[in-house]
Amino acid sequence: MIKVHFHKKDYKWWNPLKYTTSIIKIFSNDIYYHVSFEIDKKYYESEFFSGVARYANPRNDIAYTLKLYLDKKIIKKIVDEYESMLGKKYDFFGVIFGFFGHKVHESDKYFCSELFLPILKNAYGITKNDIKNNLRPKDVRMFCLALTKNAK
């Protein structure tokens, strides 16, 4: 099983994160500003300053979680891809151009929603070329809801 976590937190007005998370929420037309993925109590995400990383503990701002029940072989392929992405930088241009509807992806950089691409590819046969825009947390949530509904 893969848990897809959506993050939401209200920051104080003086905290710079208030403004960056607000910009993401406004441009993505969503209440969540970040998405992360949990597999076997390991948390994978791509953050602004650290890029793609794996953590042993979850962040404290998880507001909503969806579960994807997938075959163990598929999960292994996804984990292998995540492991190969570790240490890659954050895709600033992908985020900025994505706000304006332009699909831009640097092959060696990732923003948080792009970590959903290995799940789409390995579990459902959907590649980044099949998607018209850069993924946003809202898109990830809509995919997950549709995929879990159709799996029942």
- Spatial neighbors of 143 by CB under 8 A, at least 6 apart, are 116, 120
Query: Can you list the alpha helix ranges (DSSP code H) found in the chain?
Result: 16-28, 72-85, 92-99, 117-124, 137-151
Q: pLDDT (tens digit, 9 = 90+) per residue, 57-76?
A: 998 899 999 999 999 999 99
Give 83-112 pLDDT, tens digit per residue.
999 999 988 777 777 666 667 766 789 999
pLDDT band at 25 (very low <50, low <70, confident <90, very high): low
Terminal alpha carbon distance of the chain? 15
Contact (Cβ atoms closer than 8 angstroms) between residue 138 and residue 29: yes
Kindly report the pTM of this predicted structure: 0.86
Angstrom distance (rounded) from CA 75 to CA 90: 23
Tell me: the pLDDT tens digits for 108-132? 899 999 999 999 999 999 988 898 8
Is 44 in contact with 82 (CB distance < 8 Å)? yes
* Rg of the Cα atoms in the chain: 15
Return the structure tokens found at 2.
């893969």
Residue 134 burial (CB count, 10 A): 24
Structure tokens at 64: 């909503």
Q: pLDDT value at position 100?
A: 65
Distance CA 49, CA 118 (A): 22
Per-residue model confidence as pLDDT tens digits over 41-60: 999 999 888 899 999 999 88
Crossing angle for the helix pair 137-151 and 16-28, to the nearest 10 degrees: 50
Q: Alpha carbon of 78 to those of 59, 98, 99: distances in Å?
A: 21, 24, 27
